[in-house]
Structure 1
Amino acid sequence: MRKLLFVCLLINVFVQGRAQELNCTVTINSEQVSQTNQQVFKTLERSLNDFVNKNKWTNRVYKENERVNAQMFITITEYESDRFKGNIQIQSSRPVYNTSYESSVFNYKDNQFDFQYIEFQPLVFNENVFESNLVGVISYYVYIILGLDADTFSLEGGTDFYRKAQNIVTQAQGGSYTGWSQSSDRSRFELVDNLLSNTYKEYRIAMYNYHRKGLDIMADNNSTGKQIIAGTMKLFETMINRRPNAFLIQTFFDAKSEEIRNIFSDGPKVDIVKLKNTLNKIAPLYSSTWNDITY
């Protein structure tokens, strides 16, 4: 009996130590498609959930509580035979130290998503060959999610993940699918290229400072945490001065605008006038949100 218990404990430790990297929900919306048989969409949804959550994406060891929380919402706008067209919305978050709060890290909509899929077709990722645009796009965003999450916990911790995503982009260049081209505006190429570019180095420093040095200490020292987050906004100002309308800055505030408003609308004061001026300069699309900071 003791031997059996010991074996069970070992298995439990092994399973927890080998947990996959993502805790991701994939949802397929096919309401815009005139298709009476919805089974293919349900099968695709189940297959994608298994593909994302059961695949081992890295050699790193993740504990169960370290899995990255994420969602992928795929809206199908056109469907004929085995061809699908639509968009994909990707969201991810990470826990804040000493709280039950989940902070949004990535909130991005990719409108260039077309692929071929036959029901019950196995989804297999091969990092050396680009065989499926469906697998390629999903795998690309898995590595972007993992990279951004790692960047919030250690300075430039996501580099290896971005390299994996960049490799997928390189392999996709020879195909005819949209969203990968170097010449396209705000493409998958541009996103990962910017993340790895020294031109936008402040972005990754800001990701680390905002989350690890700012949010993660707010439960114990709210004032210092807020000051660090306010100071982090100046890094984006440096980026704007070098590259106006930088793509990465928009991706940051698409995920963070509501959170920033809430942080600075309560608790210890900072120089709100100065902060608003900075925010309106670096993220003018969210001026109405910044105007709601009234503390």
Structure 2
Amino acid sequence: MKKATLGLFLIFLSHLGFSQELNFTVIINSDRARIQNTTVFNTMKTSFEQFLNGRSWTTDEFRPEERIKGNLLITINDVPQVGVYNATVQIQTVRPIYGTNYESLLFNFADRNWNFEYIESQPLEFNRFNFLNNISSLLGYYAHIALGIDYDSFSSKGGEDFFEVANDIVNNAQQSGRPGWVQSPTDRRNRYWLINDLYTSSVYAPIREAYYLYHRQGLDILQIEPEKAYENMLEAIRLVAEANKAQPNGILTITFMDAKGDEIAQVFKNASLEIRTELVELLLEVDPNNARKYNELTKS
């Protein structure tokens, strides 16, 4: 009987392992804060990683190797009083490319204005319909953004349900009055505008389709059908340019290019001159600050 019970328990544990979707590493840099006792940041790191990686965010099954890998880079800029922190956050996620060992940078976003209260050993709970604190709201928000963009890259607009939750988190967090959650005309690179472009605005819907074309219909088949892959990836950039033309310099356009710019400049080196020529024309419209990098594509 004990062996049977143990067997059932192990099966149960194995199913729990399948359900955790995220594999994030949290890195905390407190150098700017210049405080003497930094041990709190060790427990903070552990607490934040457990919040992100230790719960189920979906009802889908994930094998350990399928979990979404990411980094959460937190820079503590100031500690105005004990337990209160002002920080910036860099969020990055990667996506494995089918049939290769390559991991493509999928999401790269800088959140420049986060203040929060943290007490060691405090439990972190999450509720999509209520603002509990500025830690669980921010971490829950980016967990769903990461899931949504990852799902978008595997199926056309597959991340819709996750963006809906992220939108709920923003709506509930606005009552807190904390920066980053509101429709600020002076800060268009915040959490409000990111989910607005991903979920609410129809103007940027083509970029969500671009995530799918570029990755699932592009990079994933590049080794076996290069001509088709390059054409699909070029079409993805056309869609990004379309959205940018309708509303220039949107946060989603910038976020897409921040993640993909260097990769595009490398991957397209083997494309035909015709494709490279059109690609560079589009990139110079969408991301002119990196013109030198893109112009190299037509010189090879």
**What is the letter of the counterpart of residue 206 of structure 2?**
E
Pair 1:116 & 2:117 matched: yes
**What is the letter of the counterpart of residue 39 of structure 1?**
T
Report the CA distance shift for 1:8/1:133 in structure 2 as closer, same or farther (over 3 A): closer
Q: Secondary structure at the match of 2:31?
A: coil
Residues 25 and 49, structure 1, Cα contact 8 Å, conserved in 2: yes
**Which residue in the other structure is 1:168 paired with?**
169
1:41-86 CA distances to partner (integer Å, 9 max, x unpaired)?
Answer: 1111111111110022222222222211111000001012111001
Pair 1:204 & 2:208 matched: yes
Residues 226 and 270, structure 1, Cα contact 8 Å, conserved in 2: no
**Which residue in the other structure is 1:194 paired with?**
197
In the aligned structure 1, how far is the partner of 2:251 from the partner of 2:25? Answer: 26
Shift of 1:186: 2.1
Report the CA distance shift for 1:193/1:269 in structure 2 as closer, same or farther (over 3 A): same
Structure 2 alignment gaps of length 5 or more: none
**Which residue in the other structure is 2:288 paired with?**
284
In the aligned structure 2, how far is the partner of 1:269 from the partner of 1:124? Answer: 53
Root-mean-square deviation (CA, aligned residues, Å) is: 1.9
Among 225, 228, 243, the alignment partner of 2:247 is 243
Residues 207 and 236, structure 2, Cα contact 8 Å, conserved in 1: no
> Any residues of structure 2 matched to 1:130-141 within 5 Å, and which?
130-141=131-142
Task: Provide TM-score, normalisation by structure 2.
Answer: 0.92
1:93-146 CA distances to partner (integer Å, 9 max, x unpaired)?
Answer: 111111111111101111011101112111111222212101111110110000
Between the two proteins, the alignment pairs up a number of residues equal to 294
**Which residue in the other structure is 2:149 paired with?**
148
Mean alpha-carbon deviation: is it higher for 91-100 or for 281-290? 281-290
Report the CA distance shift for 1:131/1:194 in structure 2 as closer, same or farther (over 3 A): same
Mean alpha-carbon deviation: is it higher for 233-242 or for 105-114? 233-242
Mean alpha-carbon deviation: is it higher for 123-132 or for 37-46? 123-132
1:272-293 CA distances to partner (integer Å, 9 max, x unpaired)?
Answer: 2222111101111221221232
Report the CA distance shift for 1:62/1:284 in structure 2 as closer, same or farther (over 3 A): same
Residues 230 and 271, structure 2, Cα contact 8 Å, conserved in 1: no
**What is the letter of the counterpart of residue 227 of structure 2?**
S
In the aligned structure 2, how far is the partner of 1:206 from the partner of 1:89? Answer: 23
Shift of 1:239: 1.2
Q: Secondary structure at the match of 1:148?
A: helix
Residues 147 and 158, structure 1, Cα contact 8 Å, conserved in 2: yes
Overall identity of the aligned pairs, in %: 35
Mean alpha-carbon deviation: is it higher for 89-98 or for 127-136? 127-136
Residues 70 and 92, structure 2, Cα contact 8 Å, conserved in 1: yes
Residues 222 and 268, structure 1, Cα contact 8 Å, conserved in 2: no
